[in-house]
A and B are shown apart, each in its own frame.
Chain A
Amino acid sequence: MLLLALDTATPAVTVALHDGESVIARSDQVDARRHGELLLPAVDRVLAEAGRTLDAVTGIVVGVGPGPYTGLRVGIVTAATFGAALSVPVHGLCTLDGIAYAAGQAGLTGEFVVATDARRKEVYWARYADARTRLTEPAVDRPAELPEQIASMPSVGAGAALYSGVFTDVREELPQHQSAAALAELAAEKLRTGGEFLPDQPLYLRRPDAQVPANYKVVTPK
């Protein structure tokens, strides 16, 4: 097994290679404005570091969000195109699940919430029973409108840190953004145990912004 994992749903441009046993190479860069430029060079670097080539990969793992759309699509279209070109499966995973898994690896136990920055004063969030068990569908909301019970839980992710006035138990020492290494380990575990994956399609959660133009402007002076 050789899995190439990538995720562009958070400010991180993150890539990892997993050989079925462990992560053998990884690259994590945080630059919320340059996913498109940074992703392919990162893939190239990770493969070179591991002394492998892309055609040895047996599966692609991709975080399908939720996340800001422009960046999110970079990772998903890259994963889908790799999958098609190499004729290997593309395994989609909820981005928040990767962050939850990383939080578990860092020692967090018990119930918690993962929240990332959705911009426009909102967060993407989901609630977890533990690092592997998500209890709610991912959602997008204004932090102030979250139930008190959610906001007071241990919280992980840049979305929680950004609204620390609402989230009262922010675990700032835990990962803020996605790590493809955690995503790859989660995927490898699921492949071993027959767990389920998502299709390689974005979790947008919001309808596209589309203003219907008002009727044409009247130009005749009154």
Chain B
Amino acid sequence: MARKADEPLVLGIETSCDETGVGIVRGHTLLADAVASSVDEHARFGGVVPEVASRAHLEAMVPTIQRALKEAGVSAKDLDGIAVTAGPGLAGALLVGVSAAKAYAYALGKPLYGVNHLASHICVDQLEHGALPEPTMALLVSGGHSSLLLAPDITSDVRPLGSTIDDAAGEAFDKIARVLHLGFPGGPVIDRYAREGDPAAIRFPRGLTGPRDPLYDFSFSGLKTAVARWIEAKRAAGEEVPVADVAASFQEAVVDVLTRKAVRACKDEGVDHLMIGGGVAANTRLRAMAERRCEDAGITLRVPRPKLCTDNGAMVAALGAEMVARGRAASSWDLSADSSLPVTETHVPGHEHGHGHDHDHDHFHELSKDNLYS
């Protein structure tokens, strides 16, 4: 059946952080994108609380699967495969999705594909702009990641060029929003204030942009400290903090470094396409500056709509569909969640194809480093 080979019908499950996502795609076509978020439950803590997220995933799991099937108007028995985020992410949260995906695939008699969360963030753009060029350069920015990745084949070959050496870009937004008393999450609210402010009002430092600094790595910790220090100095002097100018100038520093390094990587690697994904890709200033700089450099920019940039199940389904289309090996029933799955492992194939996870690995709590099972 030609259709099946080209356009597999795949359901994808995502539970790596605080969104319970279930998406359904047919090849490059998005059929459903059901998301249940626990973000409101985390807001008062100023960050994602792993146990709160895990509890919410369990509650939302089955209803979200059913909502996605209804939205897509397809029957579960017609699915060609089930894909799930195997990592990286919060260990306990991942485990809820992986367990559900395994049970669902087993009950339906469908192949299971444990896939990489970061590769999924890139692959989701196939639902928006069609087949990914090979190779694709990708800039992934969110509360959990800031990475520059080169992807010659999204199902088997993703190479990390650089990443943050301290905070993720989204984390920096959250922290500055907290210093400015703007609440959580910080990304959207900083973006909103920044539109009223002057991005050149304050010259905040651009991390790792010196001549001897690593070309593609990021650092936002120094910037965060500089912004906090600037605000405290104002407060100490009894002056009013110009929130809009601070937001705009801080955002400008982040976005400047991100886009400068991404364009540089494209030029160095001879890649004429850049995709930007992750929650911070919804930032309007990032989109605008990336557009201008890519145009100047003759690079085609691909940014999916905001709902596909944040964590969702459709991105997992998109990568799963590509795995099916390219005949990649399915995962085994003992697939485990791997909170630190390297980006180079685009998926977790089963043992009969070698490459199994037979090492004894534990699941550590991200914050306390306590073993979740001990």
Q: Does A54 contact B (CB under 8 A)?
A: yes
Q: When the two chains form their complex, are residues A209 and B51 in contact, meaning their CB atoms are under 8 A apart?
A: yes
A-B contact count (CB 8 A): 128
Q: In the complex, identify which listed stretch (B52-60, B142-150, B299-307) lies at the interface while the others stay far away.
A: B52-60
> Which interface residue of A35, A71, A219 has the most chain B CB atoms within 10 A?
A219
Provided the pairs A69-B92, A208-B51 are in contact, do residues A32 and B103 lie with their beta carbons within 8 angstroms? no
Residue-wise interface mask of A (78-94) relative to B, using a CB-CB cutoff of 8 A (1 in contact, 0 not): 11111111100000000
Q: When the two chains form their complex, are residues A84 and B102 in contact, meaning their CB atoms are under 8 A apart?
A: no
Q: When the two chains form their complex, are residues B373 and A71 in contact, meaning their CB atoms are under 8 A apart?
A: yes
- Docked Cα-Cα span, A82 to B175, in Å, equals 41
Q: When the two chains form their complex, are residues A210 and B52 in contact, meaning their CB atoms are under 8 A apart?
A: yes
A53 — nearest CB in chain B belongs to which residue? B109
**Interface residues on chain B, size class:** 35 or more
Q: When the two chains form their complex, are residues A77 and B100 in contact, meaning their CB atoms are under 8 A apart?
A: yes
**Per DSSP, are chain B's interface residues mostly helix, strand or loop, or mixed?**
helix
- Docked Cα-Cα span, A55 to B54, in Å, equals 29
Residue-wise interface mask of B (92-128) relative to A, using a CB-CB cutoff of 8 A (1 in contact, 0 not): 1001101110111011100000000000000000000
* A-side contacts of B294, CB under 8 Å: none
Provided the pairs A32-B374, A208-B55 are in contact, do residues A84 and B62 lie with their beta carbons within 8 angstroms? yes
Q: Does B233 contact A (CB under 8 A)?
A: yes
* A-side contacts of B55, CB under 8 Å: 69, 202, 204, 208
Q: Does A36 contact B (CB under 8 A)?
A: yes
Q: Does B337 contact A (CB under 8 A)?
A: yes
Q: When the two chains form their complex, are residues B99 and A219 in contact, meaning their CB atoms are under 8 A apart?
A: no
Q: When the two chains form their complex, are residues A74 and B106 in contact, meaning their CB atoms are under 8 A apart?
A: no
Which residues of A183-222 are within 8 A (CB) of B?
201-202, 204, 208-213, 216, 218-220
17 A-B pairs in the complex with CB atoms less than 8 angstroms apart: A33-B374, A36-B98, A37-B335, A39-B99, A70-B91, A70-B92, A74-B99, A77-B61, A78-B103, A80-B62, A81-B62, A81-B100, A84-B65, A208-B52, A210-B51, A212-B44, A219-B228
Known: A40-B106, A208-B49, A209-B49. 20 other contacts (CB 8 A): A33-B374, A36-B98, A37-B336, A44-B106, A54-B106, A54-B107, A68-B373, A70-B373, A73-B58, A73-B92, A78-B99, A80-B61, A83-B62, A202-B55, A209-B51, A210-B45, A210-B51, A216-B179, A220-B233, A220-B236
